[in-house]
Amino acid sequence: MKSYDIVIVGGGPAGLAAAVAAKKAGNDSILILERDHELGGILNQCIHNGFGLHTFKEELTGPEYASRFIDQVKELQIDYKLNTMVMDIAADKTVTAMNREDGMFQIPAKAVILAMGCRERPRGALNIPGYRPAGIYSAGTAQRLVNIEGFMPGKEIVILGSGDIGLIMARRMTFEGAKVQCVAELMPYSGGLKRNIVQCLDDYGIPLLLSHTVVDIKGKERVEGVTIAEVDERSKPVPGTEKFYSCDTLMLSTGLIPENELSRSAGVDMNPVTNGPFVNESFETSIEGVFACGNVLHVHDLVDYVSEEAAKAGEHAAAYVKAGREAASAEEIRVKATGGARYTVPTTVSLDRLGDLLTVRFRVGAVYKDAFVSVYLDGERVTHQKKRIIAPGEMEQVILKKEQLTAHTGLKEITVTVETE
Amino acid sequence: MYDIIIIGAGVTGAAVARELSRYDARICVLEREEDVCCGTSKANSAIVHAGFDAAEGSLMARFNVRGNELMEDLAKDLDIPFRRNGSLVVCIHKEELDGLQELYDRGVKNGVPDLRILSKEELLEMEPNLSDNAEGALYAPTGGIICPFKLNIALAENAFVNGVEFRFNTRAEHLSRDEEGLWHIRTNNGEYVTRYVVNAAGLYADFFHNMVSEKKIHITPRRGDYCILDKETGDLVDKTIFPQPSKMGKGILVAPTIHGNLFVGPTAIDIDDKEGTATTAEGIAQLIEKGGMYVKDLPIRKVITSFAGLRAHEDGHEFILGEVEDAPHFIDCAGIESPGLTSCPAIGEYIGGMLRDKMNLTEKKDWKGTRKDVISTEGLSLEERNKLIRENPAFGTIICRCESVTEGEILDAIHRPLGARSLDGVKRRTRAGMGRCQAGFCSPRVMEILQRELNLPMEEITKTGGKSNMVFYRTKEEGGHTA
Amino acid sequence: MEKRELTCIGCPMGCLVTVEMENGEILNVTGNTCKIGDTYARKEVTNPTRIVTSTVMIEGSDFTRLPVKTASDIPKSSIFAVMEVINHAHAKAPVKIGDVVIKDVAGTGVDVVATRNIA
């Protein structure tokens, strides 16, 4: 097997953008390993529009967005292998992968970019009681069946969870002639984007039941219906509020989990909040030369941000291969989330390696109205930005100038928080 | 006309079928589901019990101990995973310690080897993640864990290869005996005539028994809810952790599975519906509470799936094995609840021997008691994998990423004798879909392989036979234009 | 005076926009944080439009469905008429992004175009 400087695990939006950026940064020895039969990842099945407004200043569908990057990968003659599953990443950056043609093979890489994306939380993890018939699909699995393979997994549908994929699928199934009974959401707010609630539910009169969950599944062979109940503020079903909805399909859109089995076995330190690796300003994990980007790092709402972060990861991986790790002269600055902010990416910053700007992305744990996103440098507030709404479904960011950080001599900690005043 | 018809292709029916396959006889197994291992056999604790729990002198005790003895060689012959991980009955109250001695004594009388009572210190050294409240335990090193699917499938497959016929989707509905003493079994797929009937119908064994006998029996479905936890929790305990047994059964266990997951269960809830395999919120809550009493920090957030199985609890809480007094040539294997899985090799041996003697059956010369399981790529070295991939490139494609199951394994599961015809059939033979994503990733891929290999339209691919179809129609085609 | 509250869909911000109207005349648009919100709200209350995305059958390829979209937005009221045409349309491989699959779909004056390349 040919050896490569940079091995990228995953040929979805993150892997593609990382590859393109690494190549443009001057590295000519890049390999993308993709388990599906084509590049593009989950974007191929996201045939709806709404991608790329930030990156391309136009609204693209998922496959169109993916093709912009796939075209670049091909033009730049970056190597990739399809139908190839990465089986292991060792701490020394040896990547073990497998496919039909090459068999199982190992590549000793100088840098590895983790871009495996995420998976959907299954029914089992939700402990929904009831039978276990056919007709319980995660929304993404149903999306693949409908959009790529052209099969209808159901005709009468209840969706649990108002994540974006669930909302998109509500409209998609309606277009294909199915009846979507309702979308039930455990939380008092939706995890999906506003535009999707408007365009996928409101437009078609599909009710969104906030603070509701599925408490029983009926049907031994195929789903025959579900019972939905209201939940209290501790998310416990309220007795007496149960209502039966006839349906042949229950679709779940109840959250995404970064797919970090390979990262864990490589020994990468993981952030328990994001279920993704801890990274520094260069998107480098706790293992030198192993970078992470996209949904494997933290679940994004917008693919534009994935591409942007991945490009940085790609650039830094190329720089790492070229020069080895740039030794940081000063101590690393910690980036901490407090208050309403649940986590930050990155969690450490080295000023030596930082470009002109530091973008810190985070999510909040509850809905805030007319609140402030604040940044403190060792206790001194430097940002106090008013926001009409901050919601858990949408990723937030603050951008700090490098001068701001260097001006603060001996800076040890950057704190990101949400304040009500 | 058959010599013997076995009703039910669960683990008992399959074990009896395999034993009988040694002899020259025309044998058929009738199974209402589309595959073997679709009832109680697929949803239980998967424990090979040591045998200290069953009442002294009972059939349960006898068959448990004998079954445990036979299991090791059987597992080797059938090439299925089995491990004697040992069982611990743990006390969390000092006053329960007397109960341990009682269990120990009973176990010794039942013939269970190597039993020991452990002090708190010995216990915590053996299982450091047990609750600090643990006061002592009965240790049974012969206790084991097995894959119930693979056991059931392997027994049936081996019986089939040795000439036993299987009729799936064939539900026995009515039994009658004619003047010549032959049994007529009416099914949804026509009538079957046979000299002998073996009633291995699990939860429905009372239905068939009572149809032919005046001495009625009564089976209650006793539901057991289970939670299966992610493999990353599989080493929380090494031994099977039992609480003190009660009159409802062996209690809620915390144990590793043979495949490296952890499970908590079962509850024991008597219900009326023999099809009532729905879990309930109360049942799952009970598991979380009780399981948490015996181990420290039970990582219940790592649950990947929950399910419920039904035990065939006969009122007398005893196996009913043998020819029914007032129904000649009708052989019961009824009331097979725990330790039924453990006992199945012994039940097979016993019923097989009984029918051999009664029917003067002669042994086949070419009987082959061994088989090879679906090739597993788990744990293969790079060289071994590459050899396999060179022979068959399908072993180079991962279909189930959570359990690392290749297309080659799935093809094997489909094309072998009594092969898989549904997603669950593939799952039980290969583990594809049993991992942490619960088939989210692999189900469309397995569906595609099934439809290609079985040459069926996608609309006919099911999760588990019957009306469990996965998709309804193609988009843009019939039904899709109503919008 | 009539007030209509809308969630702007121009970008993922999802601004809550209020449109004040009287006799069909828009008096005031508030709550938007950019020009898109203003334009969207004015349009949404007078002439709402949507881009429709779906798939059509495709022959001559391993792929059996081709993703498509309306090349620009169509009146919201025409969505199901457009879907009806899309559901009966066929494409033939090879297809490139932007290739017209249906011309002037359902009399909207808008074409339906392919959104992926299929060789």
Which pLDDT belongs to residue C2? 87
Average pLDDT, chain A: 94
Question: Per-residue pLDDT tens for C26-70?
Answer: 999 999 988 989 998 998 999 999 999 999 999 999 999 999 999
pLDDT score of A1 more than 80: no
CATH class of C53-114: alpha beta
Pairwise CA distance, residues A234 & A215, whole Å: 15
**Domains of chain B, start order:** 84-144+220-311 (3.30.9.10), 382-460 (1.10.10)
Q: Which of C87, C90, C102, C112 to mutate to test the interface with B (most CBs of B within 10 A)?
A: C87
Q: How many residues in total does chain C contain?
A: 119
The count of other CB atoms within 10 Å of the CB of residue B379 is 7
Alpha helices in B360-455 (DSSP H): 382-391, 407-415, 423-430, 443-453
Burial class of residue A324 in the structure, from the number of CB atoms within 10 Å of its CB (0-12 exposed, 13-18 middle, 19+ buried): exposed
Cis peptide before B148 (omega within 30 of 0): no
pLDDT at A191 over 90: no
- Under 8 Å between Cβ of B251 and B244: yes
At position A220, the amino acid (one-letter code) is K
Q: Which residues numbered 314-343 in B keep a CB inside 8 Å of some CB on A? A: none
Domain ranges in chain C are 2-47, 53-114
Structure tokens at A181: 């009974």
Flag whether pLDDT at A328 surpasses 80: no
Question: DSSP characters for B56-118?
Answer: TT-HHHHHHHHHHHHHHHHHHHHT--EE---EEEEESSGGGHHHHHHHHHHHHHHT-TT-EEE
Q: pLDDT for A146-189, tens place per residue?
A: 999 999 999 999 999 998 999 999 999 999 999 999 999 999 98
Cα distances from A228 to residues A139, A160, B187, B256, in angstroms, run 18, 9, 39, 34
SS3 content of chain C, % helix, strand, coil (to 5): 25, 40, 35
Lowest mean pLDDT among A169-173, A213-217, A323-327, B289-293: A323-327
Instruction: Please report residues of C whose CB lies closer than 8 A to that of A67.
Output: 97, 116-117
- B82 burial (CB, 10 Å; 0-12 / 13-18 / 19+) is buried
Give the pLDDT confidence score for residue C14 in this predicted structure.
74
pLDDT, one tens digit per residue, over B168-186 is: 999 999 999 999 999 999 9
Name B24's Cβ contacts closer than 8 Å, sequence gap at least 6.
Answer: B361, B362, B363, B364
* pLDDT value at residue B344: 98
- Touching check for A83 and chain B: CB below 8 Å? yes
The percent of residues in chain A predicted with pLDDT above 90, rounded, is 86
Closest approach of C118 to chain B, Cα-based (Å): 19
Contact A194 C117 (CB under 8 A): no
Q: What residues of B are in contact with residue A144 (Cβ under 8 Å)?
A: 444
Q: What average pLDDT does chain B have?
A: 96
ipTM of the complex: 0.94
Where residue A68 falls among pLDDT bands split at 50, 70, 90? very high
Which helix (DSSP H) or strand (DSSP E) does residue A364 occupy?
strand A357-364
Find, among B402, B401, B467, the residue nearest to B436 by Cα.
Answer: B402
Best of A100, A180, A257, A273 to disrupt the B interface by mutation (most B CBs within 10 Å)? A100
Distances (CA, A) of B200 to B15, B91, B203, B370, B396: 10, 36, 9, 23, 41
Q: Specify the pLDDT at position B478.
A: 61
Tokens of B137: 């335990």
Q: Which tokens go with B241?
A: 């952790």
pLDDT in tens, B313-344: 999 999 999 999 999 999 999 999 999 999 99
* H or E segment and range at residue C84: helix C79-88
CB contact under 8 A, A63 and C33: no
Mean pLDDT of B283-302: 91
B476/C83 Cβ within 8 A: no
**CA distance to partner chain C, nearest, from residue B403 (Å):** 28
pLDDT in tens, B402-457: 999 999 999 999 999 999 999 999 999 999 999 999 999 999 999 999 999 999 99
For residue C54, what is the enclosing H or E element?
Answer: strand C53-59
More confident residue, B92 or B87: B87
Chain B residues touching A122 at Cβ < 8 A: 304-305, 436-440
Cβ separation B303–A127 shorter than 8 A? yes
**Chain C residues within an 8 Å CB radius of B483:** 80, 83-84, 87
Alpha helices in A179-335 (DSSP H): 194-196, 261-266, 303-323
- What pLDDT is attached to residue A394? 84
| Mean pLDDT in residue range B47-62 | 97
Strands B327-334 and B190-199: parallel
pLDDT band at A391 (very low <50, low <70, confident <90, very high): confident
Checking if the pLDDT of A326 tops 80, the result is no
Reply yes or no on whether B329 is catalytic. no
- The model's confidence at residue A346, banded by pLDDT at 50, 70 and 90, is very high
- Does B475 touch chain A if contact means CB atoms closer than 8 Å? yes
Q: What percent of chain B has pLDDT over 90?
A: 93
CB A295 within 8 A of CB A115: no
C67 vs A47, A199, A302: nearest CB: A47
Tell me how far apart the alpha carbons of residues A196 and A192 are, in angstroms, rounded to a whole number.
7
Q: Is A361 on the interface with B (CB under 8 A)?
A: no
Inform me whether the pLDDT recorded for A336 exceeds 70: yes
- The pLDDT tens digits of the residues spanning A110-122 come to 999 999 999 998 8
pLDDT, residue B481, reads: 45
Phi, psi of A350 (to 5 degrees): -110, 120
The DSSP result for B86-98, as a single string, is -EEEEESSGGGHH
**Surface-to-core class of residue A146, CB atoms within 10 Å of its CB (0-12 exposed, 13-18 middle, 19+ buried):** buried
Q: How many CA atoms lie within 13 A of A346 on its CB side?
A: 28
Report pLDDT for B386.
97
Angle at C22 between CA C16 and CA C27, to 5 degrees: 55
CB A213 within 8 A of CB A238: no
Question: Residue A205, exposed/middle/buried by CB under 10 A (0-12, 13-18, 19+)?
Answer: exposed
Which pLDDT score is estimated for C11? 61
Tell me how far apart the alpha carbons of residues A332 and A341 are, in angstroms, rounded to a whole number. 21
